Structure 1
Amino acid sequence: MSTPLRTTYPAPVEDLIPAARRLAADLGEIPSQNRLMKHLRVGKDKAKAVHTALTAEQTQTHAETHLHSVPDPDETSATTEVAETPAETPVEEFPQVSEPVDPVSPVRSGWRKWAPRFLQRGGISLADEPTTETAPETETDARPIRSWPVLLLALPAFVAVWSGWVGLGELTGFGVVHPLPGIADGFTINSAITLPIGVETYAAFALRVWLSGRVPARARKFAKRTALSALALGALGQVAYHLLEAQGVTSAPWPITTAVACLPVAVLGMGAALAHLINTRENGSN
């Protein structure tokens, strides 16, 4: 720290500035007027003059620090000419297209008018964005899956299931009956056909209701359980018939006869219940 300036006579401002500079260097900043008055032992006017001189010197120093060299105009023009002279660039075969254009649209610009047909038709997409040929199909544009192969699958199953149920029905007492006595005595029907029509038709209907997802929750749950039950009963009926037929049995045991006789009634009850649940709106109570 610099010591205070001691003088026996009034010193001019120019002689006080070096001591003020040393004080500013020690403090790291320009001292205040009161500090200068105390350190230099001068009056207010001389302290203000010294403070003003130190401030002007600091401002000038900052201005000189920010100055930078300006290149010679001749050198700048020469550099600009060199920079403006481009090197040999490869000539593009096709002009740049500012905006992607749909390659299959009737309006085409530039080289797209004579682009090869296979490029325009989805072999290679000319735009970054998906075109109408390459974009994925939406739900509305997707083609529905054809269900006609189900007919080919159902035809052999129908023959096997029909013959099995009719054969089991004959072993359990189903047979030819006269449904209209006194009205059409000559009209007869084999009651065994009620088994395949009732059980298998209900299984298919309940399966459709279950998987449709457009019915109340209670109806869907009931359709799921009864559809699986009907399919299981159909499979058991086919197994029972083939086992009895393989053993040469002409009359089915009473447990099988009882179960088969109850099937038409059970199918009627399940069908009526499912139809009622489908047409009933859900409420808060179960």
Structure 2
Amino acid sequence: MTAPTINGTRYPQPIEDLLPAARALDLPEGEAFPSRNRLMREFRIGAPKAGELLALLKTEPATPDATAEPDTTNPADPPAAPEPAPPAEPDPTPALEITPAVPPAEASAVSRPDTPPPAAPARRAVAWPVVLLALPAFVAIWSGWVGLGGLTGFGIVHPLPGIWDSFSINSAITLPIGVETYGAYALYVWLSGRVPAPALRFAKWSALGSLAVGALGQVAYHLLVAAGVTSAPWWITTAVACLPVAVLGMGAALAHLVRTHD
């Protein structure tokens, strides 16, 4: 059981008060000084204070007792050199380094000299020149598809018979609206990179296929007109007639893949 501290209190005492009590400790045979751990345990002090107390025990001699016999040694003999004190053992407990708090204003004002200045945000490329590019392309593509539709059986229809008999529309406009609009949308989905991998692959190949079909349609129309053909061959008519259905299927599939994140 740990002995109580001196003076009947459990609180640590000053080193000057602990020094006599430390000299009075019963030591095992062969030991001249108590260990630092015993000093910590006996007086309930920390390692730094116990090390300092142990150093004082080894350097300061004990106070001579008044009842002790006088020294009979020859005064002519030179005094014995005091035993050098061993170095104090380092404290194993690392000291806490207290860093003063820096106000936010001062912390923001101090900067390292080697810190590079923040880079200016890069300006985004403008997109309005695309409108100028699209206008002539729209005129050429629209006229080519509508003309090819006229050569393959597309023409004026009345979509609302019995409801609005006078309302009519040229069904050939479904070709440029369907094929070219889907090609532009699939190209946007592919280059955006913000969709799942299956949608990205489907958008890539369907966009390239739509652009290739659009180019072939324009080539076919101009070749037929240049040759004076008033009615397209059956295989061209068959391919053009299937375009609205193919565009509907690819558009529905791409919309489904874009919303699927599995």
For residue 242 of structure 2, what is the amino acid of its counterpart? C
For residue 209 of structure 1, what is the amino acid of its counterpart? V
Which residue number corresponds to residue 147 of structure 2? Answer: 167
Map residues 58-207 of structure 1 onto 2, 5 A cutoff: 136-137=119-120, 141-207=121-187
Give identity over the alignment, percent.
Answer: 75
Question: Which deviations, in whole Å up to 9, do the C-alpha atoms of 1:126-147 show, x marking residues without a partner?
Answer: x98755xxx643xxx2222111
The reply on whether 1:275 has 2:255 as its aligned counterpart is yes
Residues in 1 aligned to 2:226 and 2:131: alpha-carbon distance in whole angstroms: 30
Which residue number corresponds to residue 208 of structure 1? Answer: 188
1:248 Cα deviation after fit: 0.5
Which residue number corresponds to residue 198 of structure 2? Answer: 218
Question: Which deviations, in whole Å up to 9, do the C-alpha atoms of 1:224-277 show, x marking residues without a partner?
Answer: 010000000000000000000000100000000000000000000000000000
Which residue number corresponds to residue 76 of structure 2? Answer: none
Runs of 4+ that moved beyond 3 A: 127-131
Which residue number corresponds to residue 216 of structure 2? Answer: 236
Higher helix fraction (1 or 2): 1
Residues in 1 aligned to 2:261 and 2:116: alpha-carbon distance in whole angstroms: 45
Residues in 2 aligned to 1:158 and 1:185: alpha-carbon distance in whole angstroms: 30
TM-score (norm 2): 0.56
Tell which structure's C-alpha radius of gyration is larger: 1
Residue 250 (structure 1) aligned to one of 219, 224, 230: 230
Residues in 1 aligned to 2:133 and 2:194: alpha-carbon distance in whole angstroms: 26
CA RMSD, 1 decimal: 1.6
Give the length in aligned residue pairs.
151
Structure number with greater CO (CA < 8 Å, separation at least 6) is 2
For residue 143 of structure 1, what is the amino acid of its counterpart? R
For residue 275 of structure 1, what is the amino acid of its counterpart? A
For residue 143 of structure 2, what is the amino acid of its counterpart? S
For residue 212 of structure 1, what is the amino acid of its counterpart? S
TM-score (norm 1): 0.51
Structure 2 unaligned regions, length at least 5: 1-108
Question: Which deviations, in whole Å up to 9, do the C-alpha atoms of 1:35-77 show, x marking residues without a partner?
Answer: xxxxxxxxxxxxxxxxxxxxxxxxxxxxxxxxxxxxxxxxxxx
1:156 Cα deviation after fit: 0.5
